[in-house]
Amino acid sequence: MQYRTLGRTGIKVSPYALGALMFATHVGNPDPDDSARIIHRALDAGINLIDTADVYGDSEEVVGRALKGRRDHVVLATKVSRPMGDDPNQQGASRRYIVTAVENSLRRLRTDHIDLYQIQRPDPATDIEETLSALSDLIHSGKVRAIGTSTMPASDIVEAQWVAERRGLARFHTEQPPYSLLDRGIEREVLPVAQRHGMGTLVWGPLGQGLLTGRVRKGQQNELRRAGFFKHLNDERRLDAVERFISLAEEVGLPLTHLAMAFAIAHPGVTSAIVGPRTMSHLDDLLAGVDVALTDDILDRIDEIVPPGTDVAPLDQAYVPPSLQRAGLRRRPAAERAAA
């Protein structure tokens, strides 16, 4: 395993990170002991970065139990800000919530510190200075070692860096955006901005939320709908692109999963790609491709299928800013429009 430096933190991490969403018993693997075996297998193979979140059900608890006796050898990351219930103050990135949420995560993870604490989604209702001030205090207290964001637009990343410098606060060390053969939008601004500010980038969804496993094929839409799969699994544009990637993978003699993962970690701005296996066989398949390196010719062929800096179609879980969600932020008042 060839380790990479996480931004300018000095922390060394594996190019594959282990995502823990599928270890939540109500979402993925219902057997915590089996999840622990998968975690141990990943650690034994050299993966040293585990990423979870407070909103992933009991994932933090499963990870915390599995790391007993091995915590010091793991770069442990978790996230905060997604709603944890109906209480409007049990979400977001306010100081009030962050200082409470971190204690709950520490307890569930059975540890006295978190190596990387991330704001899972931007919180437009909270001043970024308030968020950075709270996170800075956590770093000073030793409860958190580094801080990051997830799915933050490039302009917000720049603003956060500027505020941190001007106010003498800890700055975000990492960003965690979606990135895959199908979702290359971050190449346009997010990755260059993160590189410019010395941030590490941990990308999620390198297998296209399951589309790039090869198990979902064009023509299966009716079965997918009956099974209640995410909307993106029924998107004709994404399915068409997957078929082309399947053909390319067969031509170059690689499993589709290995092609997808090797692409995700080939970009110089990407530190690690997060994999989310639910079973041991899923993990073993991915580990078998950890040393695959794509040639320039293969990367050029990929660019022909999905051009650099473009997304084939919107992701179900992509961040949508309030300016796009609320019509009132895009339209002048009716009276003003009529007067014009």
Rounded distance between C-alpha atoms, residue 296 and residue 265, angstroms: 14
pLDDT at residue number 231: 57
Predicted confidence (pLDDT) at residue 225 exceeds the cutoff of 70: no
The larger pLDDT score, comparing residue 78 to residue 232, is at: 78
Element (H, E) at 280: helix 280-287
Is the pLDDT score of 221 beyond 50? Answer: yes
- Given this model, what pLDDT does residue 94 score? 97
Is residue 16 flagged as an active site residue? no
Q: Where does residue 230 rank: exposed (0-12), middle (13-18), buried (19+ CB within 10 A)?
A: middle
What is the per-residue pLDDT across 256-296, written as a single tens digit (0 to 9) for each? 999 999 999 999 999 999 999 999 999 999 999 999 999 99
Evaluate if residue 219 carries a pLDDT over 80.
Answer: no
What mean pLDDT do residues 46-65 have? 97
β-partners of residue 114 are 144
pLDDT in tens, 162-208: 999 999 999 999 999 999 999 999 999 999 999 999 999 999 999 99
pLDDT for the residue numbered 226: 47
* Residues 6+ positions from 333 with CB-CB distance below 8 Å: none
Predicted confidence band of residue 214 (pLDDT cuts 50, 70, 90): confident
Q: How far apart are CA 68 and CA 111, in angstroms?
A: 9
> In this structure, which amino acid lies at residue 120?
Q
CATH (residue range 4-339): 3.20.20.100
299 pLDDT more than 60: yes
Q: Where are the domains positioned within the chain?
A: 4-339
3-state secondary structure labels for all residues of 1-69: CCCEECCCCCCEECCEEEECHHHCCCCCCCCHHHHHHHHHHHHHCCCCEEECCCCCCCHHHHHHHHCCC
- Catalytic, out of 56, 97, 117, 179: 56
At residue 41, the pLDDT reads 98
